[in-house]
Chain A
Amino acid sequence: MFWIIAVITLGSALMMVLNRNIFHSALFMVVTFIGVAATYVMLQADFLAAVQILVYAGAITIFIVFGIMLTVRGNMKQTNLFSKNAAAAGLVSLVLILINAYMAVNTNWSISSAEPPTETVGQISELMLTKYVIPFEVAAILLTVALLGAIVIAKEVKKTS
């Protein structure tokens, strides 16, 4: 089961990069995200899986709208092109993958013998609102500031046009 999910996830991730049509790339990205969510389900993190689908797969629609808006091309086949540095980029990613694989294989993972908890939402919220309350609130303020900034930028563009 894991291998099926892994092949689908990685295959669609690869297709996302290689595809020339940005619309198809975005759709492959959804498949990748759903694959990641399936991996979470296999790890018994069902809340995280639902968040993954809601936040990432749900945001793809917005991504597509912006992708179409920002890539004005006559032909959809030329919307997701490669730059001339494809060889260098490939080399860098290959090295990165090798380093990651080396680290993952050689790290001494500690395996907990405890049963996975059935109720995860309550524990996550407990941690978020007690131990990690300050980072949580800072993130909230940061997002609000970003939202306000986006609104201000959008409004100003309207005035000048």
Chain B
Amino acid sequence: MQILINLANGIRSWLEGMGLSAASAEVIMSAVGALAVVIFILTHVIILILAERRVAAFIQIRKGPNRLGPLGIGQVIADVVKTLSKEDIIPAAADKFVFKIASTTLFATALLTFAVIPFSKGMVIQDLNIGIFYFIAMASTGTLSILMAGWASNNKYALIGGMRAVAQMISYEIPMVFSILGVVMLTGSLKMSDIVLAQKNMWFIVPQFIAFVVYYVAATAELNRAPFDLAEGEQELIAGYFIEYSGIRWALFMMAEYASMVAASAIATTLFLGGWLAPFGLDTIFGVTIPGFVWFMIKLYFMLFTFLWVRWTFPRLRVDHLMHFGWKFLIPVSLANILVTGIGIYVYQRIIS
């Protein structure tokens, strides 16, 4: 996607030509980049809602979403119109201000993680030195918004859902960070572009397969998606922490969920599947150069599809099983993975020197 980078450089030089200083041009370019990311996310939320309903319909032989209009596209319009036209209800006993901002802050934290995701070579808003660490820090703050929503609704189901979300997300954050650590040890850098370029010869899914599995499970739990969707388990808690929300505020929760799903898949793609790099060095097929962005999107959609697939295939876990699985299985496995990776790196360096 060299075109987009050229376009960005073109806008920048045009702004500077208009008499703006380099710093203010940079600020405007960041805003443009952020806007592009927001549009990117919103587009993908729409695609994902359709994909989720269609995958669900295919897997579970449901009738509606597959048939409404060509390719089921009519379902998207029906969903969006229904959501937007609903009344915005705020419960009388709710903590009103916190209730109102909780949905916005959750979406904002989901949005912030996109600042470090490299969509292609040079296509990243801020290629921070601490890229992946920034992602972890931003992803961890999402818990607070969920607790805010659960508490401010002043509803027993919502509060139980919020508390479950806190317990679950804090437990599963630890194995997630440890699994990322294995990749960071191999790369020796926290910078996202360095991590991608280190996978030039071999994707990290091969040497770090255990880390990949741990990351995938922990990310599913972090996203509160089935089979780990205890925070919103329909049979027990109806909808969990966003039970009292309606209309556009409810839509914000949904968008935040799908945005974090895209972010988690993008991180998995970057860390384990080689990011924008082509598989087996297939940069050109039959003389046509395929841009890195396309490879990135293919891998991203593969990851997203597995998330949908898992959701409609596995039954939900029980709360205590979930905690046992996190603390007694995933954390020891991820710690062992770090140990083995460390020994492996040491042995490898010895052999080389």
A residues lining the B interface (CB < 8 Å): 23-24, 27, 30, 46-47, 50-51, 53-54, 57-58, 60-62, 64-65, 68, 76, 118-121
16 contacts between A and B (CB under 8 A): A23-B95, A23-B98, A27-B148, A46-B129, A46-B130, A47-B133, A50-B133, A50-B137, A53-B141, A58-B137, A58-B144, A61-B166, A61-B170, A118-B129, A119-B129, A121-B190
User: Is the pair B143, A58 in contact by a Cβ cutoff of 8 Å?
Assistant: yes
Chain A contacts for B137, CB-based, 8 A: 50-51, 53-54, 58
Interface residue B138 (Cβ < 8 Å from any Cβ of A)? yes
User: Is the pair B141, A58 in contact by a Cβ cutoff of 8 Å?
Assistant: yes
With both beta carbons as reference points, the residue of chain A lying nearest to B146 in the complex is identified as A61
With both beta carbons as reference points, the residue of chain B lying nearest to A117 in the complex is identified as B129
Q: Interface code B149-162, partner A: CB below 8 Å = 1, 0 otherwise?
A: 00100000000000
Interface residue B128 (Cβ < 8 Å from any Cβ of A)? yes
Chain B interface main SS type: helix
B residues lining the A interface (CB < 8 Å): 95, 98, 128-130, 133-134, 136-138, 140-141, 143-144, 147-148, 151, 163, 166, 170, 190
Quote the shortest CB–CB distance from B29 to chain A (angstroms): 18
With both beta carbons as reference points, the residue of chain A lying nearest to B126 in the complex is identified as A46
Bound Cα distance A137, B141 (Å)? 28
User: Is the pair A30, B144 in contact by a Cβ cutoff of 8 Å?
Assistant: yes
Bound Cα distance A27, B128 (Å)? 28
B170 in complex: contacting residue of A23, A62, A68, CB < 8 Å: A62
User: Is the pair B140, A24 in contact by a Cβ cutoff of 8 Å?
Assistant: no
Bound Cα distance A76, B140 (Å)? 27
B129 in complex: contacting residue of A53, A54, A120, CB < 8 Å: A120
Bound Cα distance A65, B170 (Å)? 12
Chain B contacts for A121, CB-based, 8 A: 129-130, 133, 190
Known: A54-B136, A58-B141. 19 other contacts (CB 8 A): A27-B98, A27-B148, A46-B134, A50-B130, A50-B134, A50-B136, A53-B141, A54-B133, A54-B137, A57-B141, A58-B140, A58-B143, A60-B144, A61-B144, A61-B147, A64-B147, A64-B151, A121-B129, A121-B190
Bound Cα distance A58, B144 (Å)? 7
User: Is the pair A46, B128 in contact by a Cβ cutoff of 8 Å?
Assistant: yes
With both beta carbons as reference points, the residue of chain B lying nearest to A51 in the complex is identified as B137
